[in-house]
Structure 1
Amino acid sequence: MRQTIFWITLGLGVGTVACGGSPKPATNPSTSAATSEPAPKWDDSSESSDNARHPVFSSSSPPSAANDQGWKPSGAPPAAGSPAPPAQQRRTDSYDKEATEVVLRRAARQVKDNCGSAKDENGKAAGPWGKTVVVVALGHNGHSKGASIGSPFDGAPTGRCAIQAFSSLTYPPWAGADTTVNWEVDIATPKDAK
């Protein structure tokens, strides 16, 4: 904190010296309008060629959206006469495919990394292994309502593991009806079962 105050004080002192000494006292604009001197005009004719090449330091009008330096002002309004870009509207009657697929891919990675070594009642990883499809029930409230898997994985430890990975997903909700998604998974064969 002390260091910050030091730098602010130093900056004000240097700025005061650089600007010609002590600042003028503030005046009320309504009473001194007739007696005050006119404000100096900005003269950009003496602009250095170095500043002319850098739009950030240039005193000319704001640069176009794509100038020769590739600089684009952020949050700047569109140029006069150009139409405003259309606002992207997300559909609310169906699920957000992009955001939901991120969650589904994560669950599929969990299946591939973990479910191949799921053990049966005897403590053995007995499979089956390979690629299959998990049918995921997506609730419109943003939570999965369960999953199912086809034969021969149905009822097997590897299949139960895959169903569990997809049964408690969270994703953006939507206003439409619930839906189902078929998602391919790979239940990898564990190294000790080969």
Structure 2
Amino acid sequence: MTDTLSVPTFRLATATRPAVPHRASRRGLDDHGLAPAWMRAVGAVLLLGGLALSAAVLGWPGDAPEASLLVPGLVGVVAGFLLLVARTGLTVTDEHVTVRFRPLPPRRIARRRIADVRLVEADASTYGGIGLRRARGVRALLLTPGTGVEITDDRGRVTFVRTARPEAAYRALAA
């Protein structure tokens, strides 16, 4: 009779991965925000209005009215949906900074390319409106007025992001 603890077992060797620092020990920031309440309210009105207009055009008895009325309804549905799901985000890790404006794809900036970081007070008139703005080498992500972080890369491109915690974002970027 053999002891079950002394019976040799044959297992496939598993590849070892390099140690990844624990999440709490990493420098970084993960700041996400919703669109302002008024923007979501406008989105809800556009979505419901577009759905009502589209349903009225498609459900018209007999000869349908102009099919071109369906286009504004669908535009209202799409615009309303985009305003409802709009979210912003700024994620800072050791390797890169990720700026998000959902539903668009995220933009990444490598940390090694960042030349300057500063806190900036901004409103809609500073960058020419709200949302994702782009003009003269400056990209701005601004949904509400207030303080945000302005990042300048080594090519001179400027990216402004309005965050709920601008001081924490500045500290994470300056580290």
Q: TM-score, normalised by structure 2?
A: 0.23
Return the index of the structure with the highest Cα Rg: 1
Q: TM-score, normalised by structure 1?
A: 0.22
The structure with more strand, counted as a fraction of residues = 2
